[in-house]
Structure 1
């Protein structure tokens, strides 16, 4: 089992309520379209201006397959583009973990 995480920075902490609503909309789309369950949270390190997405893939091949499908998913990219003003532009902080127990 592979776990993918992505941490993104909000442009401003005051955008957190809107960012949570967008996260809910994105997660609903990913669940309905790609059958994946994504967890979203905020770090407990005192950073109220960032969010973290986490999801599990069965394998590296499964993660690669999802990436291929997302690249072709116009509705997903429309949601991302529509809400681009929420996030700090530039590189995101991603992590991939090979889970040894689940």
Structure 2
């Protein structure tokens, strides 16, 4: 099993409510559209960072999901709607092979 983890840093406290709204909206959309069981959350101390993660049985499955996302207009619209809440270059993706 593999875990995909994405983090993104919020620009400042003024846009934190927007970042939380995005996390909720995008998580709901992806779970409903792709049955991914994504979980999202916000760091409680230190940096204002949002986290998402989901598990997949294989890297091929992750590739298929990514290909579908590249064609998903609703997902693209959400990304565009909230593009100004993130620190530029702060998004990080990690794939972890679970033991």
Q: TM-score, normalised by structure 2?
A: 0.90
**Aligned mates of 1:57, 1:14 — CA distance in 2:** 35
Report the secondary structure of 1:28's partner residue.
helix
Identify the residue that residue 72 of structure 1 maps to in structure 2.
71
CA distance in 2, matches of 1:87, 1:65: 26
Is residue 40–residue 51 contact of structure 2 (8 Å, CA) maintained in 1? yes
Return 5+ residue gaps in structure 2 as ranges.
Answer: none
Moved over 3 A (4+): none
Task: Note the residue ranges of structure 1 that are not aligned, 5 or more in a row.
Answer: none
The corresponding residue for 2:12 is 12
Q: Residue 3 of structure 2 corresponds to which residue in structure 1?
A: 3
Taking the TM superposition and a 5 Å limit, the aligned residue runs for 1:1-102 are 1-44=1-44, 46-47=46-47, 49-90=48-89, 92-100=91-99
How much has 1:45 moved relative to structure 2? 5.2
Q: Deviations over 1:61-82 (max 9, x none)?
A: 1100100000010110001001
| Cα shift readout 1:36-75 (whole Å, capped 9, x = no counterpart) | 111112235522x111111111110110010000001011
